[in-house]
Chain A
């Protein structure tokens, strides 16, 4: 309270003018603020500090709350004053521990400053005092939504049962519905809030946002006019609109609206941060940084902005590489290596998608690759801890580098392909494609791009379907934006890709394009399905069920329990008997096969594993029968059989990431050089950091006469900083010579000799190249 003590020395007389009702004065000051008379409002709010300093000990709890609220307004221009607001709230609660309003407002202050931990504790105390206090219920719902904890909906329902016209509850309800893209429901909530209080700022602001996002321009205009006339110089409507636009991936429009917000109210730090974050999504890094720095200077509590600025500070450690229609942003230590693979991969993906979607993105696509998953997470959501591997903001995509996770943990090639597919589906629809369709198409595209890529069916997915734990096809978006259990998001990716497959199969590929066009035109999912597929949403759900039964019905019948009653401790005979009792139970056959193999009864285990494979042949996961059967074949030295089995497994769907190298080795040992090279090529999208693998692949490509790829592999070796650089340059020169690029070969052999002037083979090559006339 150092600041307040100083003020006390200057204007002690004001303390005597303490109003009979501070709350009345507060209301008047807030009215000044809302009318845009900021200077007068600030003077009025400042008087509360003087009053506090002169007579804090005599103030009632309610008066202390008024002081605290005044401080929060002053905190807009001087963020240090939020601490004083905190002190005043604490004192208000100390004076009257029963003042539940003080607790709720304190919790709201915590939430406003992104401190959900203290908000949670404060609200726990408030609700312990009165479990049906509506503002506390609403604040706790907001807190849970903030923390992405379940229960926000039910708390809100309780609040509305107690007070059906509670404006803040209705407004929050609208926000929650908008989060799941239920804009009609959100609109109903906001209309109800505005009927209760036509001037409510937050309800008006969100009403504007909803109207803009749903393309209802006349309502947007009406509500905006009402908001502006009541709250001139207030950016809340801009911020709400920009945030909602960003939520539906309209980043350019979001940035534009947020920019207007910074003009309307230059001290709206939320407008500055929203502008900055959206500019970053658009790849406009320098402008984004400026906005974020402004936002952070005004609101140093914003952890998203701080994290993002910290991340931007590291961008000097990245290379920016222009590659045709792309700009790669990759950390320097691995930019040379990754761009060798990323370039051709992205070119192929781009060409594929241009053909497929009849759309070409404007300008270069920015591709950011992060060696630190925490950095990727901050780039995506402003915080560490995001589970996803990649993100697409349209013309900017970002994903984890293979170094960001444990070796072999994911396929960075298929991730890049997936994210670029989003760039096209988002772009083709003016960013209006719903999440479920965009994700479904991306997974579908992964599967079509390369054998062994893209999610495939799993026992867990089918079990979730069988037990009714998947969302209906018509409400797939809920599975992404408001999952009921952690795995539901993962299941929804695959389910969405199945819906795309179903549509492509039964209505033709063009139907998918027509759906995108429908969304582009602003149609709802219901309209799109009706117009393109000629059915209503319940019919789509029935059709999807029929598709599932047709495609997986046989497997669903034999899937068995998730945890069959098979123990490692059971004797072998008992295991065999157990398998014999339920020969048509996939779970039992797999568990018995695995148990028998683990104890070394390889021959006996094979029968059970073969039965498991026959029951569920589509499942290619690492915990299924294929890898175990391959192990059994290897145990008896049948490398050819094992390699054939792994090839079959790869062709089924997402190949276990660590199996590519095993497959490559087996194919190499069985003399299938071409397919071995293919397998090692696949392995580079899992782990590109093994110098030995690159050397092997370079030699394979040289043997196969694929000199361009041999050159690429030799470049990869060099990018990994081998100790023997002379040898690496020499072998690169040989590959370049074989590829007919004598000039490059000559430059490379000079690099080899620069490292080791006496390198005899390099000397011979240099003289031979000169004889062929390759100039540098």
Chain B
């Protein structure tokens, strides 16, 4: 039963982390061509909007550095040019704050280089994988998601990855240098419907990654092109499923003892469903489905009752 106990711990931990405050820092680099400049800007804007509108994040928790010196796009998130100095200063400031805040750092643009010298093209000096590793180390034990959606980003993964960090790159190596589609789908996952595969009304970084990965593959297949990007994710602390681009403000817990009891019963049912799914291969289809239905009906009834009581209160 060691496995079940672990699941229970994770569920409990999920409640805690969902409540953590989040800081989103978007760094969009040089376009080098008006089309890319527009596209990077549009992606950054869409991501910031999703964080605010879907994740409920306050504008003050969203920072966007881009190619232009003047504010661009919609929204109040634009904080200036994406220079190395600006990015370093902001990350340093956030790291220095004494809080439980989690950080989501997103890179949009063109990438180049190899290994620790993999870089994002910025106005002025670039930032490399080694730079980001150093900057993120300053966050200590705090949860960090590093999402590098640039081309040729793959080599950054092993350099930046660490326990307590979710690291995503659009490509598997520095040699996948063609224009990347992954970023668009990743932002789609957070800004549109379709990625919330567990239907908990939130899109975790895990769900966003898998949505974008699947849609990237589908893009190359449907266009009958050879895939020139293979997204990857490092998630040493198994955080991605519980990491959300959201304010983390949870509603007040119910004090109604009936609701508290129903939540407890529902949690037990969830554990039993998880355990049943783990045994699926060992069971006959009929036995599995009968038991699954019994548990899911009970779960649905509990959920219905919880909703009824919560709405009533």
Contacts and interface: CB of A to CB of B under 8 A. Distances in A.
Contacts of A763: 296, 299-300, 303-304
A746 B293 CA distance: 9
Given A721-B214, A767-B304, A770-B297, A754 B199 contact: no
Contacts of B222: 407, 689-690
Contact of A754 (B193, B218, B270, B292): B292
A766 B297 contact: yes
A747 B289 CA distance: 9
Given A723-B194, A750-B289, A750-B292, A760 B301 contact: no
Interface residues of A, number: 32
Given A723-B211, A753-B300, A756-B197, A776 B293 contact: yes
Contacts of A725: 197
- Chain B interface residue bracket vs A: 20 to 34
A689 B221 CA distance: 9
A758 B200 CA distance: 6
Contact of B199 (A403, A756, A767): A756
Interface in A291-327: none
Most interface-central of A724, A755, A760, A762 (chain B CB within 10 A)? A724
Interface string A669-692: 000000000000000000001110
Contact of B194 (A727, A757, A758, A770): A727
A407 B300 contact: no
Nearest to B273: A757
Contact of A764 (B210, B218, B299, B300): B300
B255 interface: no
A329 B289 CA distance: 30
Given A724-B196, A726-B198, A776 B289 contact: yes
Interface in A727-756: 727, 746-747, 750, 753-756
Interface string B191-210: 00111111110000000001
Contacts of B289: 747, 750, 776
A750 to B, nearest CB: 6
Contacts of B199: 726-727, 755-756, 758-760, 762
A149 interface: no
A722 B300 CA distance: 24
Q: Is the interface of A mostly helix, strand, loop or mixed?
A: helix
A406 interface: yes
Contact of A723 (B197, B304, B307): B197
A766 B296 contact: yes
Nearest to A761: B199
B277 interface: yes
Most interface-central of A723, A725, A759 (chain B CB within 10 A)? A723
Given A690-B222, A723-B214, A757-B273, A766 B198 contact: no
Contacts of B214: 721, 723
Nearest to A754: B292
A589 to B, nearest CB: 36
Contacts of A754: 277, 292, 296
Contacts of B210: 723
A750 B197 contact: no
A752 to B, nearest CB: 8
Given A691-B218, A754-B292, A757-B270, 9 more contacts: A406-B224, A722-B194, A723-B211, A723-B214, A754-B277, A757-B198, A763-B296, A767-B304, A776-B290
19 contacts: A407-B223, A407-B224, A691-B218, A720-B218, A723-B215, A724-B194, A724-B195, A746-B293, A750-B296, A754-B277, A754-B292, A755-B199, A757-B296, A759-B199, A763-B300, A764-B300, A766-B300, A767-B297, A776-B289
Interface of A: 403, 406-407, 689-691, 720-727, 746-747, 750, 753-760, 762-764, 766-767, 770, 776
